[in-house]
Chain A
């Protein structure tokens, strides 16, 4: 029976039974999570350059094919402060490094620090890109529906969903508060110290507003039978093919193997 006829029989509108389309987006969310997990484990557990670079290249290639490269670039830019600080700290402060590139007074950046810092940055980029790709190619309700199908508790699922949705909501709220504070004369542009001075009047309403919302949201959830016992009804479940199940098991076994070899010191 085709999916359309399933929807027709069940009486659900097409926009509810929708299926994600396009390369990688149609992959089951749990499979994408499993792939991201093995990529992260490989990037961090295997020493040397080749594997972290291979993971990063694989993630970038997938992003290009899925037309999500722009999103990954934005994520990379967002991590640039961390990347910069990792590079600087390792460049100047790597313990035991004794091969200076140049001496600048008391400072002595080292070749060892530079290479170690760059390698750490590649691992970090591989990690953030792998996780971001899941987010960029998965509708949050598909992920939640898939987790519910696998028996994950509704509270845990709600926490995941609310946390993911909270990011854009907080950004929107912050923008509204910035506008309101500007209307009252707060200077949020110009020199860095002026911007810094505007952070507190911005951050305080965002944080306190979010906290006061918690009680309202709790009551609103209770008003919608959120604490009812038993399993939820699922209106739809994302597709899950046999090959994907095999892939997830393979990823799980590979993760165990990589971690095991790493702990045993067999990876060099």
Chain B
């Protein structure tokens, strides 16, 4: 059970050069794959391609193959894709339907679109809200949420479709530290409790260091680094690829540069 990208090359409609070049990736169920990279590295495009939205919804030219649990994404209708692979975008405001009066109804929007019976809709909504820890927001107006809360509601709205995989395109990019912490906590909980495979594109490497099992670094549409999160996020080439090192790694290096010993107790405390 996995999302597999094999020698994927993708070019947007009207673009002169490809946004992705020869990408090979695999996201297994129950694993968290972090993706980092500088601006224009192809991270958002990777999300759209891996989720089956490109070229199915936005057009463009795809070479290679993208398979979700063995099925070619170009052959799956969007509403079926939505149940296999959920996609959460950067901007929480544009993800909400703007047609509902309460968060409960907002989260129910997807299951209702699928024609799921009312008792199952109710069960799915509560499950999704609990999974991201925002049951108390259920009666609130979706238009009156903070950025972090809105992003969590967007995540819950996707979870309510019960996808086996989640793809998140910089879900914390517009959030302050408190909002980032809310989303990171929720993602860690979802990864732990739902067994979904998660592909998380994130600039904030501290978030990746916390919840990713493996990390891939993209550069100019290709994979520049890949491996276990701890190894990739400590790689000295990261800065040259436009990716900021996690705070822990920076602190460790500063300690070593100052000629001091990295205290084991401090490492344990950070872990």
Contacts and interface: CB of A to CB of B under 8 A. Distances in A.
Contacts of A216: 89, 91, 94-95
Contacts of B91: 216
B87 to A, nearest CB: 4
A49 interface: no
Contacts of B101: 139-141
A121 interface: no
Contacts of A13: 104, 138-139
A57 B98 CA distance: 34
Contact of B122 (A12, A217, A224): A12
A220 B95 contact: yes
Interface in B168-201: none
B100 A228 contact: no
Interface string B70-106: 0000000111001100111101001111111110110
Contacts of A141: 99-101, 105
A224 B139 contact: no
Interface string A38-52: 000000000000000
A161 B101 CA distance: 12
Interface string A223-244: 1111111111111000000000
Contacts of A232: 112-113, 115
Nearest to A233: B112
Given A219-B57, A222-B57, A223-B82, A234 B112 contact: yes
B68 to A, nearest CB: 14
Contacts of B78: 222, 225, 227
- Chain A contact surface mostly: helix
Given A224-B161, A228-B114, A233-B115, A218 B57 contact: yes
A234 B51 CA distance: 28
Contacts of B158: 223-224
Nearest to B56: A222
B94 A140 contact: no
Interface residues of B, number: 45
Contacts of A139: 101
Contacts of B98: 161-162, 165-166, 169
Given A10-B118, A11-B119, A220-B89, A16 B113 contact: no
Contact of B79 (A15, A225, A231, A234): A225
A159 B190 CA distance: 33
Contact of A15 (B99, B102, B108, B111): B102
Interface in A170-224: 213, 215-224
A144 interface: yes
B104 A228 contact: no
A136 to B, nearest CB: 16
Interface centre among B53, B96, B112, B138 (most CB of A within 10 A): B112
Interface in A43-78: none
Interface in B94-151: 94-102, 104-105, 108-119, 121-122, 138-139
Interface centre among A154, A215, A223, A226 (most CB of B within 10 A): A223
B113 A10 contact: no
Interface centre among A140, A157, A224 (most CB of B within 10 A): A224
Contacts of B57: 218-219, 222
B82 A215 contact: no
B58 interface: yes
B148 to A, nearest CB: 18
A237 to B, nearest CB: 12
Contacts of B110: 224-225
Contacts of B88: 223
Nearest to A215: B58
A223 B58 contact: no
A115 interface: no
Interface of A: 10-13, 15-16, 139-141, 144, 154, 157-158, 161-162, 165-166, 169, 213, 215-235
Interface of B: 48, 51, 53, 57-58, 77-79, 82-83, 86-89, 91, 94-102, 104-105, 108-119, 121-122, 138-139, 157-158, 161
